[in-house]
Structure 1
Amino acid sequence: MDDLKQLALRVPADVKAWLTEQAKRNGSSLNSEAIRAVRERMDRETQPQT
């Protein structure tokens, strides 16, 4: 993944707390959890509607 770009992101405290908890639960970084959440949404948006 050589095409990584930095993004400064401001999120509400409850969103950060949720991401932090997910990261702890999954043994991953806050960054990884944010990417996972966005990718899940991307997948839902791009899947054909049935």
Structure 2
Amino acid sequence: MSDVQKQFKLNIPDDVKRWLAEEASRNLRSQTAEIVLALKEKMRRQTETKKADAA
């Protein structure tokens, strides 16, 4: 896995932004870390689904 990080602008709806801020605060993480965690969980689920479909 690469440690190279890329920066990009993200436009999200206000309700999602509020939820993100609340979750990050509740979990003692930055909003960026909360987004990365959510995306990695989605990646993991997708990989598991693909493996299950292949079996």
TM-score range normalised by the length of the shorter chain: 0.7 to 0.9
Identity of aligned residues (%): 41
Structure 1: 4+ residue segments shifted above 6 A: none
| In 2, Cα distance between equivalents of 1:22 and 1:11 | 15
In the TM superposition, residue 15 of structure 1 has moved relative to its aligned partner by 0.9
Other-structure match for 1:17:
18
* Structure (1 or 2) with the greater helix fraction: 2
Larger CA Rg, structure 1 vs 2: 2
Gaps of 5+ in 1: none
Q: Structure 2 length normalisation: TM-score?
A: 0.79
Gaps of 5+ in 2: none
1:6 aligned partner, one-letter code: Q
Let me know the Cα RMSD of the aligned residues: 1.2
Count of matched residue positions in the alignment of Structure 1 and Structure 2: 49
Q: Structure 1 length normalisation: TM-score?
A: 0.86
